[in-house]
Amino acid sequence: MTKKNLCLLLAFVMILAMFAGCSKPAEPAPGPGEEEETPVEPEAPKYSFGMVTDVGGIGDKSFNDSAWAGIEKAGKELDVEPKLLQSTKQDDYPPNLGNMAQSVDLTLAVGFLFEDAMNTSADQYPDKLFGLIDEVVDKPNVMSVTFKEHEGSFLVGVIAGLTTKSNVIGFVGGMDFPVINRFEAGFVAGVKSANPKAKVLINYTGAFDDPDKGKEVALTQFQQKADVIFHASGACGIGVIQAADEKDFWAIGVDMDQSAESTKNKVLCSMVKRVDTATYTVIMSYVDNDFKGGADKALELGLKEEGVGYSDGGKNVSAALAAETDKYKAAINDGTLVVPATREELKDFKPFEIK
């Protein structure tokens, strides 16, 4: 072998050694009785849930936002990203429920107008779970949660009755349905109990998603000397609060503490309806394998269950006024005072006097 060939051979051997050093050593073959290891796949989320809004949608600073807050809370605790579908009209309810049910195990719908769509969807997807807020559907796979809105509304009625200077108070409802009638009946009963001389103006916007309409109705009531106006009208209430800022009267918010919606601190208080508690409760019942489907297991949350009440984020309710209101609250909780929930019951209601 020539000297040149010997050098080429040595160089080739060195290159082979370099590649051998960089290569990954072969995995030893499984021994007798041993099984090959299977790569571990990422674990899929254990729970899945989502919400379908009513026409008010996210951003109403009221009902839908409160419901979504409860769902987000559950999502953070469970490390789950909840899904959301927004409805812009009632015709969206059936397809939105169906689409959500196909992608998650638990579908929550917020609003009494979902009743028909929920009945249909529960039958179409019997292997899926549903939660309904503000209405009861008698299906084994639907957990329903309602509220005693009249009890919380009674308390803000007391506050309104003891605050008014003109003895004219307004109520602005959304759509004229039994749920909103409960707000109306309880509020009027509270006003009349605290201030029998006060007059309550009652108007409905016919919608839950029109702030301009809410403002228009509130301004009309203000022109009739209303100096305290309570709304139960979803996003329409944003307009009621805007009117309060412009004309310097008191507004009473609903569902969530709405004091931050006023630029001039004109939200006297808010009738808090814990929709966030309702959605969170449904999710946790599903997680804990304690899902309560069917009408006979529907939940109803009132003052005693801390499902309704009032908030004073603007610090506009004095200590004396709060103490007086607490007396009525105690009477409701111990059964001494039964708050009317309908217009018919309101007709027979006699103003309640604190002894």
- Give residue 272's region: left, alpha or beta (phi > 0; psi -120 to 50): beta
Q: Are residues 219 and 329 in the same domain?
A: yes
* 221 in a structural domain: yes
Q: Residue 24: is its pLDDT beyond 60? A: no
Confidence class for position 36, pLDDT limits 50, 70, 90: low
Are 142 and 229 in a shared domain? no
pLDDT at 230: 98
Q: Which distant-in-sequence residues (6+ apart) come within 8 Å of 174 by Cβ?
A: 180, 204, 205, 206, 207, 208, 232, 233, 234, 236
Instruction: With a cut of 90, say whether residue 48 has pLDDT above it.
Output: yes
| CATH code of the domain containing 175 | 3.40.50.2300
Residue 178 and residue 216 share a domain: yes
What domain range is 108 assigned to?
Answer: 49-147+277-301
**Mean pLDDT of the chain, nearest integer:** 91
Do 71 and 156 belong together in one domain? Answer: no
Q: Does residue 343 form part of some domain?
A: yes
Q: Do 102 and 240 lie in a common domain? A: no
User: Can you spell out the DSSP letters for 161-229?
Assistant: HHH-SSSEEEEEESS-SHHHHHHHHHHHHHHHHH-TT-EEEEEE-S-SS-HHHHHHHHHHHHHTT--EE
Indicate if the pLDDT at residue 4 is higher than 60: no
Distance CA 181, CA 112 (A): 13
pLDDT digits (tens, 9 = 90+) for 252-262: 999 999 999 99
d(CA 198, CA 202): 13
Mean pLDDT of 2-6: 50
Q: CA geometry: angle at 312 spanning 144 and 208, to 5°?
A: 45
What are the pLDDT digits (tens) for 292-341? 999 999 999 999 999 999 999 999 999 999 999 999 999 999 999 999 99
Phi-psi region of 299 (alpha: psi -120 to 50; beta: other; left: phi over 0): beta
What pLDDT score does 355 carry?
Answer: 78
Instruction: Return d(Cα 307, Cα 151) in angstroms, integer.
Output: 10
Structure tokens at 142: 């639907």
Residue 110, pLDDT above cutoff 90: yes
Between the two ends of the chain, the Cα-to-Cα distance in Å is 122
Q: Which range is least confidently modeled, 33-37, 63-67, 116-120, 128-132?
A: 33-37
Q: Assess whether 141 and 168 both reside in one domain.
A: no
Mean pLDDT score, 241-256: 97
Could you tell me if residue 355 is inside a domain? no
* DSSP character string of 134-167: SS----TTEEEEEE-HHHHHHHHHHHHHHH-SSS
Looking at the predicted structure, is the pLDDT value of residue 23 above 50?
A: no
**Residue 242 belongs to what H/E stretch?**
helix 236-247
**Mean pLDDT, residues 204-223:** 97
Looking at the structure of the chain, the number of domains it has is 2
Which residue has 């329409």 as its token pair? 236
Question: Hey, CA dihedral for 279, 280, 286, 290, is it positive or negative?
Answer: negative
139-169 pLDDT, tens digit per residue, is: 999 999 999 999 999 999 999 999 999 999 9
What backbone torsions phi and psi does residue 138 show, to the nearest 5 degrees? -90, 75
Please report, rounded to a whole number, the percentage of residues in the chain having pLDDT higher than 90. Answer: 85
Q: Identify whether residues 124 and 139 lie together within a single domain.
A: yes
Do 241 and 290 share a structural domain? no
DSSP for residue 331? H
Q: Let me know if residue 265 belongs to a domain.
A: yes
Clarify whether residues 88 and 163 are in a common domain.
no
Pair 244, 318 in one domain: yes
